[in-house]
Amino acid sequence: MISYEEFCDNCRRLLGRVENACASCGRNVGDVKILPVTKTHPIDAPEYAARFGFSAVGENRVQELSEKRKSERGNALKINWELIGHLQSNKAKHAVELADRIQSVDSPKLLKKIDAEAAALGKTMRILLEVNAGNDPAKFGAAIDTTPELLGEALELKNVKVEGLMTIAPLDSNLDTASRCFENLRNLRDDLQKQFSVSLPELSMGMSGDLERAIEAGSTLIRVGTFLFGARDYPL
């Protein structure tokens, strides 16, 4: 794990990238938030993020989120915890208990399970709908053409609040592929807002390698891990 000083240096470099990207496309830098992704890193990572001033961190797996958030050090942190990885419906109960927001809701089955678990806890679960906006067979997410139906179902439920959309761009050395994916998500969001007369302010898209393209396309939240914390130590 890198030192806090190294993390701060990385944060300053990342903020510089965000500022330059916003300046290049005429956007206000305050309209783009950063979500540090702490998956597979020790509890030091969310501690670094909170100490630097970030308001939330992202985790991929319910088990790892549980281990960190329930730990003595994690419980002491004044930050929000967001679940950004694929979520199976049989783990929805724990996800609703632990996460402040779930970004990866991609099916009616999962949506209804989250709503039921939130109702049982007497809470409203903040969510994003994950869309496979790049039409990538290797990625999770609802298809673009089924997302209106998914949103329609979500709006009928009492214990979920849809705050926007999320996508992961296809892995491609040609960044134009990522741009098309991000533009697809933005256009879909705009269409859904008109169709359902709702506000969907959050567009969670862009990571370390493609964040400039995401910001250009309208991202409001970039999810960054490796650039901030260094290479991950994946378990065998």
CATH assignment of the domain containing 58: 3.20.20.10
Q: Give the gyration radius of the chain's Cα atoms.
A: 17
pLDDT in tens, 152-168: 999 999 999 999 999 99
Domain boundaries, position 43: 4-229
How confident is the model at residue 157, as a pLDDT? Answer: 98
Angle subtended by helix axes 108-121 and 147-155, to nearest 10: 20
Q: Which residues contact 156 (CB under 8 A, 6 or more apart)?
A: none
Question: Would 20 be classed as within a structural domain?
Answer: yes
Question: Would 236 be classed as within a structural domain?
Answer: no
CB 103 within 8 A of CB 60: no
Question: Would 235 be classed as within a structural domain?
Answer: no
CB atoms < 10 A from the CB of 236, how many? 3
Question: Would 234 be classed as within a structural domain?
Answer: no
CB 61 within 8 A of CB 91: no
Tokens of 140: 């999770």
CB 205 within 8 A of CB 167: yes
Question: Would 65 be classed as within a structural domain?
Answer: yes
Mean pLDDT value across residues 118-138: 97
Report d(CA 206, CA 215) in Å as an integer.
7
Question: Would 51 be classed as within a structural domain?
Answer: yes
pLDDT in tens, 78-104: 999 999 999 999 999 999 999 999 999
Q: pLDDT band for 235, please (50, 70, 90 cuts).
A: low
Q: Which residues contact 83 (CB under 8 A, 6 or more apart)?
A: 58, 59, 60, 62, 65, 95, 98, 99, 101, 102, 103, 104
How confident is the model at residue 231, as a pLDDT? Answer: 82
Q: pLDDT band for 25, please (50, 70, 90 cuts).
A: very high
- What is the count of structural domains for the chain? 1
Tokens of 26: 């005429």
Question: Would 140 be classed as within a structural domain?
Answer: yes
The length of the chain in residues reads 236
Question: Would 184 be classed as within a structural domain?
Answer: yes
How confident is the model at residue 122, as a pLDDT? Answer: 97
- Most distant CA atoms of the chain, gap in Å: 48
pLDDT of 234 > 60? The answer is no
Q: pLDDT band for 232, please (50, 70, 90 cuts).
A: low
Predicted TM-score (pTM) of this structure: 0.96
Nearest-10 Cα torsion for 192, 196, 200, 206 = -20
